[in-house]
Structure 1
Amino acid sequence: MFFCACLVAVSWISLSGIGENADPFLILAGFFVLIVYPLFFVIPTLVFNFISKNFFGKNKTRVLFLLPFIWTAFEYLLSLGQISFPWLMAGNSQSYNLAKIQFAEYTGVFGVSFWICMVSVVLLIIYREFKYNLTGAIFFKKALLIIILAVIYFTPDLFTYFSKSLKSYSGNKFDKEISVGIVQPNIDPWVKWGGKQNELIDNYINDINLLNREVNSLKLILLPETALPYYFRENIFHQNYIKLKDLCDSINIPVLIGTPDLNYYLDESTAPPDAKIMSLSKKKYDTYNSAFLFEPGKAKDEFQKHYKIKLVIGSERMPYQELLPFTKSLVEWGVGLSSWQIGKDTNIFILKDGSKFNTAICYESVYPGFFADFVKKGAEFSVIITNDGWWGKLAGTYQHNRFAVFRAVENRRWIARCANTGVSCFIDAYGNYYDETKIDERKNISMSVGKNDKQTFYTVNGDLFSVICSYITAAFLLAALIKRFFTSRD
């Protein structure tokens, strides 16, 4: 069952490696996910069966109500560490059902997973009652179960309807706004890394100038992840840097650009065990998937930046590579993406007018608590830059886009999403989409997004709900282990 679910949901990984730009790495990675990922979902099943057998005994109904806690705890644990892949959380399935997910500002997407499991549990109990208990004497019990189901199912809707926070702003706007422009260049990611860099820069400049002429009040312009497929701070690329810097100064608008970056270790004793080594000079260095804010009047060494922290397993970095340095050479993807170093700080970007925003690079937007940590540091709106062009029009592109709904709702922040080949868009603090671009479309969009300095319960407390579910699961598991131990002694 878990294999079939993964086959439907993440087969796009392998499929994206088939076609004109066939890539054996993606094909193998996809098969690996299809084989290994379902095994993780066996864990909560085994835990549930163990607790059911050793703690609840013959009472098979009562134990069912523990399942939502176990499943939520499992999803939370699956989002931790360097081998995490929180793509198939049950709650993500409700990204189009906005009326049901607004309570995520308290529990995060994990609370939506919990709600789905609880509804499923009550449905199962009702099904069993109608199938196996056919006497009229238990009509009251069946009616009560149906009422309980209705209460659980419609509770999120009631929260949405009566919530004061959802009524405090007119038209999903906030008291303060900022005008943001997005450039979707639609560059083929398979050829970008070896492409004509001068032509690439000229296209960006033309798009930015066009956007600036169309919208006079822009305060920020976004370019996607690795829009510059080279280390722009290196002297060899100085001319291209000057072109972008002069543009930024002339239009007097900061431009956020995704780009790789280099860090040389002058003191090699500070270099991590998995640092890269230059072939000739033997100097140690590291590379980062990063976002730089080109600011008018500032030099490149003064630019604010964010180094990507949540890296894609395999394609960007091998898990726990710092402990096993030899693994970094096992996967070398020929498109400029292999063996990134992990960023250290959740930096907030601050514009000249004091506006604050966080930037999540691609895969980072999948992590609820991680994203909330940025907002907790003071971000008033959020930015996601990504390059989903590897997947084309396969399911992964659309899934990744919809996950951003939960980041908006959890933190009540507007999100400006800039993608290389689509989908670029704006998302308000309640999950509504605006100006969605099509995939494989070159287009510029702009909008005034709301700024919010208030923090939700989830922003402040993070995955507290999931942690509580984990403790409850651990308590029952420990109780089952103790009970089994003493039972076996008897």
Structure 2
Amino acid sequence: MRKLLQNNRILVFIIPVFLSLAWYVPMGFVGLWIGFALILQFEKNLSQRKFRLIRFWSGVYLILFLWNLLTTWWVKNATLEGAIAMMIANTLLMTFPFVAFYFVKKHLSYVWALWALAVFWITFEYAHLNWQLSWTWLNLGNGFAYSHWAVQWYEYTGTLGGTLWVWAVSILFWQTLQKGFFQKQILILALVVLLPVLLSLILYFSYEEQGKNVEVTVVQPNIDPYTEKFIGTEKFIPYDKQAEILLQLAREKISPQTKLLLFPETAFDEGYDEKSIFQYAPIQKIRSFLKENPQISVLGGTTSWLIYGKEKRTTTARQNEQVGFYDVFNTAMFLRNEVDSVAFYHKSKLVPLVESMPYAEIIEKILGNLVIELGGTSGGLGFQKEAEVFFDNSFAYAPIICYESIFGEYVANYVRKGANILCIITNDGWWGDTPGYRQHWQMARLRAIEMRRAVARSANTGISGFFNQRGDVIEQTPFWVRDVRRQTLQANTKNTLYVLWGDWLGKIASWISLAFLVWAILLKFWSKKRNSLQNLV
């Protein structure tokens, strides 16, 4: 075993396997504990070698790249070039905490440096959640999605609490390997492993669903996005026919008690001018359906646009000779029989380089009108800056579109605005029959726990279904099957600590990271000054 631990060539290929387990199987989070402990062993093995920083950085980069590859390879089904660029860039960003660790290790004690590494990583994840190049699928706290029973305390900490737990156990486990399995060391490690689990189990078994009952129906039309869904595809289904499929499925399951009918992302993708939405045949079909079922509200996805004319109101606006400037949106729309209008929410958390050009406003300031003159747009899809909640007479629904569902603090914004049911609409068919749609489904559990809100999820295809406020699956559809499901959920109105405070751990970690770096820099300059004085003497 010792020879194995000292062989970095073997560790480089073993560690990514351990790290990947959490995104595939229950209890896989144990692999995160082992994997990061082995990265610390990898660093120790290089401590007496030449070019330590280069060797360490390149080795860690390879480990993290293989982890990205093993866990998110399925993105290539949607975009091969995007998947490659995403993995290369995301891996590079993941190395930053290790570079900071290497710097402070030279000036602080090794124990302090280890805990600084944990804080640096939490800061990295927090920053990654809050900038326009965000790809947070592999945030360590997400690794507990398959084991939600172990992290019921996410209602206090969010997923960054899971990240802290991973690092605490990994550091203590590695120290135990180095110092030997002495009673005190084992006791400390056992407490850090078991106490969070015990707290979680207490919360899990003592929690009771809260709120009024609301009956929700979710539809999974299973229209192939590559061959049937969009105009120009091989077996394109006309948009009015797609609307008929959705409404026919709904009629099979709704009841007089149904309050909400949930359709998936881009359920209606014809491209609607929001100012004249009622002229389109699919929308007219929905309005007729609502007159037949006046107790129901409909929430579903579409592609829509707003025309601005001669004024370029946003950095994402495109230009057309006939209409002037306009924006295209990935939209959730909300229709009620009682209201002669449609409410719109424009997806805010856009997929970088696929739906949006990160920092388009900076690009536009640099290039000015050059992009438009070349026939392009600097910003991709339009978006709105804040979450928005849809209200009926009794309940409030959060329209969460696809990628947005992996951002805990962003989803908390819906709840702060009154949402008591989380409605996730998505189209996971882009990834095919891969781990991607299963991972995305599992992550919805974490939002349910953080907010203590029931989740209704409608996928064009993927998995549609329901989670209760503990993150348990109530019901789900199979993959790649045309289906419809109905459940009664509880609409909670009480806010968790996480809803109130958001990613407070990330904010604290950011300040502590700054303190560690300043401390190390001051020690570095003090050491130089002291050496200079000694040379003078």
The TM-score bracket by the shorter chain reads: 0.7 to 0.9
1:339 aligned onto 2:377:
no
User: In structure 1, the residue corresponding to 2:103 is in which secondary structure?
Assistant: helix
Give the % identical residues.
Answer: 29
SS at match of 2:331: strand
User: What are the equivalent positions in structure 2 for 1:272-291 lying under 5 Å apart?
Assistant: 272-281=314-323, 283-291=324-332
- Code of the aligned partner of 1:241: I
Structure 1 residue aligned with 2:215: 179
Segments of structure 1 that go 5 or more residues without pairing to the other structure are 18-25, 131-138
Q: CA RMSD in A?
A: 2.2
Tell me, what secondary structure is at the counterpart of 2:330? Answer: strand
**Do the aligned partners of 1:226 and 1:260 also contact (CA within 8 Å) in 2?**
yes
2:88 & 2:371 partners in 1: Cα distance?
21
Conserved 8 A contact 1:68-1:115: no
Structure 1 residue 146, shift from structure 2 partner: 0.5
- Report the Cα distance in structure 1 between the residues aligned to 2:375 and 2:91, rounded to whole angstroms: 23
Matched residue, 1:87: 137
- The aligned residue for residue 230 of structure 2 is 193
SS of the residue corresponding to residue 460 of structure 1 reads helix
Match of 1:13 in 2: 75
Q: For residue 20 of structure 1, what is the aligned residue in structure 2?
A: none
1:97 correspondence with 2:169: no
The amino acid of 1:45's aligned partner reads F
Q: What is the TM-score when the length of structure 1 is the normalising length?
A: 0.88
Change (3 A) 1:239 1:61: closer
CA 1:382–1:332 in structure 2 vs 1: closer, same or farther (change >3 Å)? farther
- Relative to structure 1, the CA distance from residue 416 to residue 127 in structure 2 (aligned partners, 3 Å threshold; closer, same or farther) is same
Mapping of 1:5-404 within 5 angstroms? Answer: 5-14=67-76, 16-17=77-78, 26-56=79-109, 60-130=110-180, 142-163=182-203, 167-169=206-208, 173-191=209-227, 192-194=229-231, 195=236, 196-212=238-254, 215-232=255-272, 233=274, 234=276, 238-252=280-294, 253-265=296-308, 268=311, 271-281=313-323, 283-299=324-340, 302-325=341-364, 339-352=380-393, 354-404=394-444
Equivalent pair of 2:216/2:258 in contact (CA under 8 Å): yes
Kindly state the Cα deviation for residue 329 of structure 1 after the two structures are TM-superposed. 10
Output the CA distance in 2 between the equivalents of 1:482 and 1:330. Answer: 50
* Inter-partner Cα distance in structure 2 for 1:400 and 1:451: 23
Return the letter of the residue paired with 1:28. E
Describe the shift of the 1:421–1:161 C-alpha distance in structure 2 as closer, same or farther (beyond 3 A): closer
Report SS of the residue matched to 2:271.
Answer: coil
Counterpart position of 2:26: none
CA drift of 1:179 comes to: 0.3
Identify if the C-alpha distance between structure 1 residues 330 and 91 changes in structure 2 by more than 3 Å, giving closer, same or farther: farther
Report how far residue 197 of structure 1 moved. 1.5
Which amino acid in the other structure matches residue 398 of structure 1?
R
What is the rounded CA distance, in whole Å, between the counterparts of 2:243 and 2:314 in structure 1? 34
3-state SS, counterpart of residue 280 of structure 1 = coil
Q: Deviations over 1:48-102 (max 9, x none)?
A: 111111222xxx2343233322211111111111111111011111112223211
Deviation of 1:166 (Å): 5.7
Count matched residues: 453
Q: Secondary structure at the match of 1:55?
A: coil
Alignment partners' CA distance in 1, 2:249 and 2:429:
19
Say if 2:445 and 2:471, in contact at 8 Å, map to a contact too: yes
* Cα drift, residue 231 of structure 1: 2.6
Q: Which of 272-281 and 148-157 deviates more?
A: 272-281
- The 2-side partners of 1:294 and 1:200 are apart by 18
Answer yes or no: is the 8 Å Cα contact 2:148–2:446 preserved in 1: no
Evaluate the alpha carbon distance shift between residue 374 and residue 65 of structure 1 in structure 2; reply closer, same or farther with a 3 A threshold.
same
Higher RCO, Cα 8 Å, sep 6+: 1
CA offset at residue 275 of structure 1? Answer: 1.1
Partners of 1:291 and 1:306 within 8 A in 2: yes
Task: Give the TM-score of the pair, scaled to structure 2.
Answer: 0.80
Gaps of 5+ in 2: 1-62, 365-369, 531-537
Maintained 8 Å contact 1:328/1:339: no
Q: In the alignment, which residue of structure 2 is the partner of 1:469?
A: 509
d(CA) in 2 for partners of 1:51, 1:454: 43
**2:524 aligns to what?**
484
Secondary structure of the corresponding residue to residue 244 of structure 2: helix
CA contact (8 A) 1:321 1:327 kept: no
Contact 2:467 2:475 in 1 (8 A): no
* Worse overlay, 108-117 or 195-204: 195-204
2:496 aligned to which of 456, 466, 488: 456
Whether the 8 Å CA contact 1:2–1:41 is kept in 2: the answer is: yes
